[in-house]
Amino acid sequence: MATKFELEDVVKNGTAGNGNGSRHSARTHDDPATTSDAAAVTLADANVQEIYAELLKRLGEDPTRDGLQQTPKRMEKSMAFLTKGYEESVAEVLHGALFDVDYDEMVIVRDIEFYSLCEHHLLPFFGKAHIAYVPQGKVVGLSKLPRIVDVFARRLQVQERLTQQIAEAIEDAIAPQGVGVVIEAQHLCMMMRGVEKQSSLTVTSSLRGVFKTQLQTRSEFLSLVRAER
């Protein structure tokens, strides 16, 4: 059952649904039918822009003032872009970009910029991902590695899971001898609120195959990640 969600303007002005005012007729709190009708208004009845407008109201703002009239529309568009990873898949990204190559040395792409949203506070975290793998007869087109990062970064995330998902995707796609992923990121949920630490850096890693079992391979990867830019 949908959570009860009183949208006063929706009930009063009939603005639910597609924004054309066709779903609910205009009513006031003096209308005897208002109480039962208001109870029937749920999150499922409101469109995304109406929910954002209600959020602005609950923050103490007036969504009808000049600077905010188009904000719900912009918020909907922005959030759709920031979470577009839900509509993408690694299989689509890698289609036609896997190649048979007789090469068994390390391939590394570092300093891949990414931006994501922390699922705990819906605040951004951002930084760089470093990816390496040792092929086993098959390689990935180099431009596809940053795109794999974006597939998972453009979702509500935690950094630890993001790191693992990138490594798993490469492992599943080409079955390399090993894969290593290191992510360095700053989290606005730590910088703008909470402990408010501006210089902290969170580092996570996922090491698989030879990156986990062979010290020399792991050390080479980590030294290349730390090398002077």
Residue 19 scores a pLDDT above 90: no
61, 76, 121, 186: which one is catalytic? Answer: 121
Q: Which of 54, 118, 130, 165 is labelled catalytic? A: 118
118 catalytic? Reply is yes
Known catalytic membership, residue 136 = no
Provide the β-strand partners of residue 157.
118
Q: What is the pLDDT of residue 85?
A: 97
The catalytically annotated residue of 8, 87, 113, 119 is 119
Task: Indicate if 189 belongs to the active site.
Answer: yes
The total of other beta-carbon atoms located within 10 Å of residue 159's CB is: 19
Angle, alpha carbons 168-174-177 (nearest 5°): 80
Sequence spans of domains, the chain: 8-82, 97-226
pLDDT tens, position by position, 32-89:
444 445 545 677 889 999 999 999 999 999 999 999 999 999 999 999 999 999 999 9
Q: What per-residue confidence (pLDDT) applies to 29?
A: 43
Class of domain 97-226: alpha beta
Is 120 a residue of the active site?
A: yes
- 130 carries an active-site annotation: no
Q: Which of 164, 186, 189, 220 is catalytic?
A: 189
pLDDT (tens digit per residue) in 157-194: 999 999 999 999 999 999 999 999 999 999 999 998 88
φ/ψ bin of 22: left (φ > 0), alpha (ψ from -120 to 50), beta (otherwise): alpha
SS (H, E, C) 24-64: CCCCCCCCCCHHHHHHHCEHHHCCHHHHHHHHHHHCCCCCC
Residue 113 is a catalytic residue? no
Query: Which residue in the list 49, 159, 165, 177 is annotated as catalytic?
Result: 159
Identify the band that residue 1 occupies on the pLDDT scale cut at 50, 70 and 90. Answer: very low
